[in-house]
């Protein structure tokens, strides 16, 4: 053994993650597109919605992201699909997986049937999902039936990152910290709260134009949330 090195056997979860992510990266031709999204309107809406609420009942930004993703996936169903062998399987249900960090790894259980669920319902469902994930009480469909995944590191000092697609899904969205940045509006310098979102897509199933349109729809929703985030 080399001096100073201390081999540690990975946990079963870490071994499973390593296997699945290696298989995904090796077999799926990933490509990546990013966009900056102005979050001022959404954060103002969230603050208004949460005013006076106890912390445990507040609507989270992640819930808004999941709701916007569900609406985007309904408009762009090619991203709500699975690659199985040489066949692309379209999926009617929109089940958005959310990456949750555990002590020995990362898991992305799904919020099921997101198509018709409002932000309030999704926020409650997400809190319940996180609690049951950490308690080891997930249901089988939440583990196996995700159709798209969100990896949100907005709570950390991360400005941008890319994520590896969870097989057999065909895309994953990585969202980073929202921070004040200088932008130009009508020839004038302004300060906006921006979040960088990066979409990783499987080039066997979708292409760059489709991914750009997907991000455009998502950006439009997040920058104008009043019409869809009322409930």
Strand partners, 106: 101
Of 82, 139, 80, nearest to 114 (Cα)? 80
The whole-angstrom separation of Cα 37 and Cα 43 is 12
Strands 100-102 and 110-111: unpaired
Is 30 known to be catalytic? no
Catalytic residue among 6, 30, 76, 203: 203
The sign of the torsion formed by the CA atoms of 115, 50, 39, 100 equals negative
Of 181, 172, 176, 184, nearest to 215 (Cα)? 172
Strand partners, 107: 100
Show which residues are catalytic.
203
């Amino acid at each position: 053994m080399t001096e100073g090195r201390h081999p540690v056997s990975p946990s079963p979860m870490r071994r499973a993650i390593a296997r699945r992510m290696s298989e995904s990266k090796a077999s799926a031709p990933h490509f990546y597109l990013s966009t900056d999204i102005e979050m001022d309107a959404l954060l103002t809406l969230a603050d208004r919605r949460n005013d006076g609420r106890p912390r445990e009942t507040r609507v989270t930004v992640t819930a808004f992201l999941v709701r916007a993703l569900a609406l985007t996936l309904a408009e762009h169903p090619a991203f709500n699909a699975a690659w199985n062998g040489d066949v692309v399987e379209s999926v009617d249900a929109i089940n958005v997986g959310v990456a949750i960090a555990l002590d020995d790894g990362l898991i992305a259980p799904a919020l099921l049937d997101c198509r018709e669920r409002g932000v309030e319902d999704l926020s409650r469902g997400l809190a319940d999902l996180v609690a049951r994930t950490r308690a080891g009480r997930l249901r089988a469909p939440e583990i196996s039936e995700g159709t798209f995944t969100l990896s949100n590191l907005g709570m950390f000092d991360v400005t941008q990152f890319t994520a590896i697609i969870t097989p057999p899904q065909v895309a994953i969205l990585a969202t980073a910290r929202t921070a004040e940045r200088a932008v130009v509006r009508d020839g004038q310098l302004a300060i906006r709260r921006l979040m960088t979102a990066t979409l990783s897509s499987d080039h066997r199933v979708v292409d760059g134009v489709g991914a750009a349109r997907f991000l455009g729809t998502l950006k439009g929703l997040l920058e104008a949330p009043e019409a869809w985030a009322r409930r």
